[in-house]
Amino acid sequence: MSSANKETDGKPGPDASEGAGRSLDFVRKIVAEDNASGKWDGRVVTRFPPEPNGYLHIGHAKSICLNFGIAAENNSVCHLRFDDTNPEKEETEYVESIQADVHWLGWDWGKNLFYASDYFEQMYEYAVQLIKAGKAFVCDLTADQVRHSRGTLTTPGKDSPFRNRSIEENLDLFQRMRAGEFDEGTKTLRAKIDMASPNLNLRDPVMYRILKAHHHRTGDKWCIYPMYDYAHCISDSIEHITHSICTLEFEDHRPLYDWFLNELDVYHPQQIEFARLNLTYTVMSKRKFLELVRGGHVSGWDDPRMPTISGFRRRGYTPESIRDLCSRVGVAKNDSVVDFAMLEHCLREDLNKRAPRMMAVLRPIKVVLTNYPEGQTEEMDAVNNPEDPSAGTRKVPFSRVLYIEQDDFREVPPPKFYRLSPGREVRLRYGYFITCQEVVKDSAGNVVEVHCTYDPATRGGDSPDGRKVKATIHWVSAEHAINAEVRLYDHLFRKEDPDDVAEGQTYLDNLNPNSLEVLTDCRLEPSLADAKPGAPVQFERLGYFCADPVDSRPGKPVFNRTATLKDTWAKIAKTGGR
RNA sequence: UGGCGAGUGGCGCAAUUGGCAGCGCAUCUGACUCUGGAUCAGAGGGUUCUAGGUUCAAAUCCUAGCUCGCCAGCCA
């Protein structure tokens, strides 16, 4: 197959080689074989066909990367097509968010933006054609009656009493359905296939239903709307898609996809099904998202704990990390659940290279350097990113009174704890070596202040005598620090599989009560005052964060924790310091 | 007890189509370190769903079975 890394139409797009590893996944194999055999005359046209009835989630990202990725690898195009055949659920707000999310992920459909509703007229004509061919009929059965006559998984269905209406009558009725003469639910247009088929999708499926609803694009022009199976294959056909890639649950629908296109005798793409992406500790359905949002369990579709694209974006995840995940998980046909840790790995790998380092103290405790001159301030040089020398250095103010992390001091240090404790010397990053001399407690016995001495010879953090310390801790000058709120996020659910519940419970019972911890008294180094919302930074030794794009205010930033750094100490502490 | 699909280390995927079962994540160990980060080195972990069969040779081919997923919307 062609492996050129050209971007499509010169549009910004991820490296086209992304996802095309040494061994091709089964979808790419099919594409490669088709290219070799000339099945589509060398064309490769894919499409991403979301229904605009909700926000995109990371599962969609897999489909997006697959479809746009394959197109890019073949110097071709991927269409963005809104599958807007159900006006009752679809809204313009969603079509806008979907476009924004696809772009944010780094893909571009160029001029290939389509809507299934663009094809309503053509679909209607095709339906008339099928009626004339005796392949479709108007049915007066109610939804309930259809359900009963459909049969079950093991028993065949019964023919509708309206199945043998004359072509003339069907034509007349269908035209009057369109004209709005009938009420919702009173009539449908159904394909005449086989009520005894073992595949229920072939038991005279509904092609059109009456819906007197306002459509976000066609307004009130239509009161009959095509069903997915009928609309989707025709849309693909009209757009001359070559490979119509969808998820596994549509496997049973492929015979119907093929049936319509065969009966219509029109251009016929190949439908290929792959397994959708699932992640541990997350649910992945729009219905559940809606419940989480409406139930107030999260702040919205873009809550940083949501697995939506907009949630991940607000949380601080990068498009690169999400694309990396999609290429690592591969494409196959068996249902699987990817470890959330894989996503975090992709994130850390990306951010480790790019995120500037800063110092922030989340749970402050005061440190007074008793031998440091009162009123003196120094500017310490700090490197912005040890992984990237070009990121340069910055000045960080240092003074007599500092804040350090409460976790970095223990009056009685447990085994393997080698940070600050009475009598022990540690390094203040880019600062000095300090030694704890005494602790100050309040009346309740809590340590409220730590008194230390500093060694002026160790300025910048180096010891001229070669003296070693076991730990380097971060700090912030009390006088210069800025205050901020920091939100620490954890998994929204406490179980790997949120749907793993006892009798009578639902996934909502698995909500993690500690998925959000808000810290309001955090002290950050001053350069963080004008952090750009959404831009990733690393708080040294703590994790990756970004200023929240929604709740941050000038001079009053709110930071989201995107992910922690890998923390060996946390592991030691958890296993009891063993 | 209908149809379709899928079973390979804990998880996600490979295996040039019959030729020594590999990779990533996770886990563990060691080295190094002004982030207990990063990096580097190494380790453990497999009855390839099961049972038969074909073959010099089977994850791969054949037979039978088992398990799991999806399908009975006028949703997509």
Average pLDDT over residues A425-453: 97
Average pLDDT over residues A420-443: 97
CATH code for position A91 = 3.40.50.620
| pLDDT at residue number A502 | 87
Q: Which residues pair with A403 in a beta bridge?
A: A366, A476
Whether CB of A36 is under 7 Å from strand B: the answer is: no
Q: Which amino acid makes up residue A183?
A: D
Does residue A379 contact residue A395 with C-beta atoms inside 8 Å? yes
Instruction: Please confirm, yes or no, whether A394 is among the known catalytic residues.
Output: no
Judge whether A479 lies within some domain: no
CA-to-C1' distance for A568 and B45, Å? Answer: 22
pLDDT at residue A20 tops 70: no
pLDDT tens-digit map of A115-143: 999 999 999 999 999 999 999 999 999 99
Whether CB of A201 is under 7 Å from strand B: the answer is: yes
pLDDT at residue A19 tops 60: no
C-alpha distances (whole Å) from A133 to each of A98, A137, A178, A190 are 39, 10, 19, 13
Choosing from A474, A506, A529, the residue where a domain stops is A474
Q: At what angle do helices A254-264 and A228-238 cross, to 10 degrees?
A: 60
Among candidates A141, A131, A124, A103, which has minimal Cα distance to A179?
A124
Instruction: Please confirm, yes or no, whether A523 is among the known catalytic residues.
Output: no
Cα(A452)–Cα(A111) distance, integer angstroms: 65
CA-to-C1' distance for A5 and B61, Å? Answer: 39
Same domain, A326 and A445: no
Nearest nucleotide by C1' position to the A571 CA atom: B36
CA-to-C1' distance for A322 and B30, Å? Answer: 33
| pLDDT at residue number A14 | 45
Strand ranges for A10-85 from DSSP E: 45-48, 77-82
Same domain, A540 and A448: no
- CA A39 to chain centroid, in Å, comes to 35
Residues 65-124 of A with CB under 7 A from strand B: 83, 85-86, 89
Same domain, A336 and A368: no
Among candidates A104, A568, A566, A560, which has minimal Cα distance to A352?
A566
Instruction: Please confirm, yes or no, whether A424 is among the known catalytic residues.
Output: no
Among candidates A434, A431, A453, which has minimal Cα distance to A370?
A453
Same domain, A227 and A259: yes
Same domain, A392 and A435: yes
pLDDT at residue A21 tops 80: no
pLDDT tens-digit map of A69-127: 999 999 999 999 999 999 999 999 999 999 999 999 999 999 999 999 999 999 999 99
| pLDDT at residue number A281 | 97
Judge whether A504 lies within some domain: yes
Does residue A519 contact residue A490 with C-beta atoms inside 8 Å? no
Q: What is the pTM of this model?
A: 0.94
CA-to-C1' distance for A197 and B64, Å? Answer: 27
Rg (CA), chain A: 31
Strand B contact nucleotides, protein CB < 7 Å: 1-8, 10-15, 17, 24-28, 34-39, 68-76
Whether CB of A363 is under 7 Å from strand B: the answer is: no
Whole-number percent of chain A with pLDDT over 70: 96
pLDDT at residue A16 tops 60: no
Q: Quote the domain boundaries for residue A557.
A: 286-356+484-575
Average pLDDT over residues A468-490: 97
B24 C1' closest Cα residue: A328
pLDDT tens-digit map of A225-278: 999 999 999 999 999 999 999 999 999 999 999 999 999 999 999 999 999 999
| pLDDT at residue number A23 | 87
| pLDDT at residue number A576 | 64
Give the burial class of A190: count Cβ atoms within 10 A of its Cβ; 0-12 exposed, 13-18 middle, 19 or more buried.
buried
Same domain, A97 and A205: yes
pLDDT tens-digit map of A524-572: 999 999 899 999 999 999 999 999 999 999 888 999 999 999 998 888 8
| pLDDT at residue number A213 | 98
Per-chain mean pLDDT for chain A: 94
Nearest nucleotide by C1' position to the A84 CA atom: B76
| pLDDT at residue number A554 | 86
| pLDDT at residue number A28 | 97
Same domain, A444 and A371: yes
Count of domains for chain A: 3
Whole-number percent of chain A with pLDDT over 90: 92
Choosing from A430, A446, A474, the residue where a domain stops is A474
C-alpha distances (whole Å) from A202 to each of A156, A260, A383, A391, A505 are 11, 11, 66, 61, 36
Among candidates A49, A1, A7, which has minimal Cα distance to A28?
A1
pLDDT tens-digit map of A500-509: 998 889 999 9
| DSSP string computed for A511-563 | B-TTSEEEEEEEEE-GGGGGPPTT-EEEETTTEEEEE-TTT-BTTB-EEEEEE
Q: Which residue has the tokens 């599958």?
A: A83
Residues 270-289 of A with CB under 7 A from strand B: 275
CATH code for position A406 = 2.40.240.10
Give the burial class of A66: count Cβ atoms within 10 A of its Cβ; 0-12 exposed, 13-18 middle, 19 or more buried.
buried
C-alpha distances (whole Å) from A558 to each of A307, A471, A488, A520 are 21, 29, 11, 9
B1 C1' closest Cα residue: A154
Neighbouring residues of A209: CB distance < 8 A, sequence distance ≥ 6: A184, A185, A188, A224, A225, A227
pLDDT tens-digit map of A282-328: 999 999 999 999 999 999 999 999 999 999 999 999 999 999 999 99
Catalytic residue from among A286, A333, A459, A494: A286
Neighbouring residues of A275: CB distance < 8 A, sequence distance ≥ 6: A247, A248, A331, A332, A333, A334, A335, A336
ipTM over 0.85: yes
